[in-house]
Structure 1
């Protein structure tokens, strides 16, 4: 099933010529992939065969330029994939290539189960991955994005409206606490940061790698919030829409090691669920083809002697 097939728009029919064109691109160019979904006039419904009813998702109606550049007012394909991986890992739904030991099988099997665990999402946007975690049995769910009032208001609307037992599979809903707070990556002096150092079993970040100048801050936040337990993992998923070079440096071994992290699994998945091995360089990549693929990274804390010389965030 295509990644984007779970999303439908709600709201008024398009009225302007450019709106008709935008909603028809999938027919005019059937191989084109939409990377972001929704707008201020059209909210979203997310439908999963494993949930009892569709999830209504609001999108932030941003007007200030400083809010627009965050791009939090869309649902990105990275969030769709992360939500599916949380669902697969928690419900035991292995990918189709599991029997053959597919590229992504180990990552799904080992890391994305959230049942009974604490989770935090960085740069949450619509909070779909966090919502999925809350519905499938996470004990504590913390949702963060840049401290923009309009973005946080939409996050609170989504979380309060959807993280409810009626949207969860029978017997799965077990959340004890759901929190929405502002967090600027790398700012570790806020009450949220001071009270939650190494407090989470799962750290999630979806489509947060398009700003290479923020990679260091994002790595610091991931390392700060990720728990000490052996099973604690961070899941970082990102599209290649701004170019492989811009996003891939986040996963650089030396840079991650500087904050005590390492890559456990790193692979690529397209919008039809096909996996392939990670590559730092694929030469000149066609834009249409590049849009189809997402990088999936699973990070953990460095253990043992390798931690010597690590500068803790």
Structure 2
């Protein structure tokens, strides 16, 4: 099994500064260390999947001022890489008997198939999971992030460049969605629709699947994020929100998002399945109290599947 970061590489000039050389040599100095954020405004990213006929080119936003920089949407994070891989794996039919019998690990019978479903991504950053869903048969794709001009411009360009029939797997170009929307959304804010942009009210409770990749590092935004999940997720028993996040800012800062009462009261959702997975595909049970050192925690991600709470589903 290839490591999680094997599909991603930089496009651009070779590193030429002391900081650049140091960052690229960390894997030699510390062999257990792994890069959990990728790229910058000077280096585009190349995403290469063995299932796609061509590579995807991903540009990164150039932050305008400190406010934009603090969003950290000018990087591709490992959570997006993992969610994109899950979507690809389950949205493509197994081609061999071995693939049909592959070990699903702690995810068990959880499927990340997006074919025929309406998807929406919160805090998209580069929108890699959404681009994969759009290439592999999603009924519609909605991509959102904080409405900073630089972020939105880059998102729109990435989505337009990469959700195209010639980038779909061979023989599946007819699955590529033509229903695509990229719009700004500040978590927890739902009353800013206008005549020119009716979003978000036009998409209330319309999404079969929500993508939430590496959005848990700001504890002060957990309530707003839970509210946005509750607002956009369909009120059906089949609707799911997929939350994948790294521990790079420390487990305690992100673990509070999964408070059972808060999820129910603010989002109307509950945990269906939750586990941890590292960059090499090793899995373990979720443990909110586990202590990780700085190097180890960069290797791990939490994967959580949220569903509508019982009693909060429309008949």
By the TM > 0.5 criterion, same fold? yes
Q: Which residue of 1 aligns with 2:206?
A: 199
CA gap of 1:31–1:193, structure 2 versus 1, over 3 A, is same
Aligned match of 1:188: 190
Match of 1:252 among 247, 254, 259: 259
- What's the CA shift string for 1:136-157, capped at 9, x where partnerless? 1111100000000000000011
Residue deviations 1:11-62 (CA, integer Å, cap 9, x gap): 0111112211111212222210101000111110001111111100000011
Any conservation in 2 of the 1:97–1:105 contact (CA below 8 Å)?
no
Change (3 A) 1:39 1:95: farther
Show the 5 A alignment for 1:209-224.
209-224=216-231
Preserved CA contact (<8 Å) 1:201 1:232: yes
1:106 alignment partner, SS class: coil
Q: Which residue number corresponds to residue 307 of structure 2?
A: 300
Aligned residue in 1 for 2:107: 104
Partner of 1:4: 5
Structure 1 residue 180: Cα displacement? 0.6
Contact in 1 for aligned 2:219/2:256 (Cα 8 Å): yes
The residue number in structure 1 matching 2:23 is: 22
Equivalent position of 1:171 in the other structure? 172
SS in 2 for 1:160: helix
8 Å contact kept, 1:98–1:105: no
- Report SS of the residue matched to 2:71: coil
Residue 80 (structure 1) aligned with residue 88 (structure 2): no
8 Å Cα contact 2:246/2:298 also seen in 1: yes
Q: Cα 1:74–1:127, aligned 2, differ >3 Å: closer, same or farther?
A: same
Q: What residue in structure 2 maps to residue 311 of structure 1?
A: none
d(CA) in 1 for partners of 2:58, 2:99: 28
Q: Show structure 1 runs of 5+ residues with no match.
A: 309-313
Q: Describe the SS at the equivalent of 1:256.
A: helix
Unaligned runs of 5+ in 2: 194-198
What are the equivalent positions in structure 2 for 1:151-170 lying under 5 Å apart?
151-169=151-169, 170=171
Q: 1:13 to 1:82 in 2, by over 3 A?
A: same
Q: Is the 8 A contact 2:7 2:49 kept in 1?
A: yes
The equivalent residue for 1:139 is: 139
Match of 1:118 in 2: 118
User: What is the TM-score when the length of structure 2 is the normalising length?
Assistant: 0.92
Question: In the alignment, is the contact (CA less than 8 A) between 1:104 and 1:275 conserved in 2?
Answer: no
Q: Give the TM-score, by structure 1 length.
A: 0.92
How well do the aligned residues superpose, as a CA RMSD in angstroms? 1.9
Does residue 1:70 correspond to 2:77, yes or no? no
Number of residue pairs matched? 302
